[in-house]
Amino acid sequence: MDTTTEPGQLGILEALLFVSEAPLSLERIEELFEGCSKAEAGRLLTELQDKYRQPEHGVMISEVAGGYRLTTKPETAPWIQRLRGSKPARLSRPALETLALIAYKQPITKAEIETIRGVMVDGVLKTLVERDLVRILGRKPEVGRPILYGTSRSFLEYFGFKDLSELPTLKEIEALAPHTAEKEVSDEPVAQTEKAE
């Protein structure tokens, strides 16, 4: 039995994942464990993941946004919701539609989003930027230099994606909702404004 008070490497990695605000990449784990190779960092991570796969654990290690973080298992959601006492903040349908457009068409301008959606998106776009799901990528090199929008690292974390390649394809989305009618987009000027929740 080990009688030292210093935690082992697994314990240290567990603590780092617990306190880190952002996902930890293998490179960052390697930096934090001086003298540890990337392969060794990967082995430690795999060992800890295997430990958390056991049913008695309520947490797991998830790979999101190019790194790893300690997250709760989905089956614990009802108890976590009781603890928090309220439902998590949800995005409105217009916000989700706008976010989906940005995710699939990025980089994209506000005018391009409004042309596709057929409504003004000022409020929705502001909400998505404030929630850090969307970020400004730069400016389009054309007259007026409109702002280009794209998804953020927080977007990947929020939806549990490692990277944008994990977004479902349009065929996969259509298979999930085969009875959804496509919305017609008219050539009329945009006149309606939507507010995000």
Assess contact for 194 and 125: CB atoms under 8 A: no
152-191 residue pLDDT tens: 988 988 888 888 888 888 788 777 765 544 444 334 444 3
User: pLDDT (tens digit, 9 = 90+) per residue, 80-123?
Assistant: 777 777 665 688 889 999 999 999 999 999 999 999 999 999 88
Report pLDDT for 192: 41
- Domains of the chain in start order, with CATH, are 9-83 (1.10.10.10), 93-176 (1.10.10.10)
- Output the pLDDT for position 107: 95
In this structure, of 3-7, 29-33, 111-115, 139-143, the range with the lowest mean pLDDT score is 3-7
pTM given for the model:
0.54
Tokens of 45: 């991570």
Q: How far is CA 95 from CA 15, 102, 124, 162, in A?
A: 35, 10, 5, 22
Q: Which pLDDT does position 191 carry in this prediction? A: 39
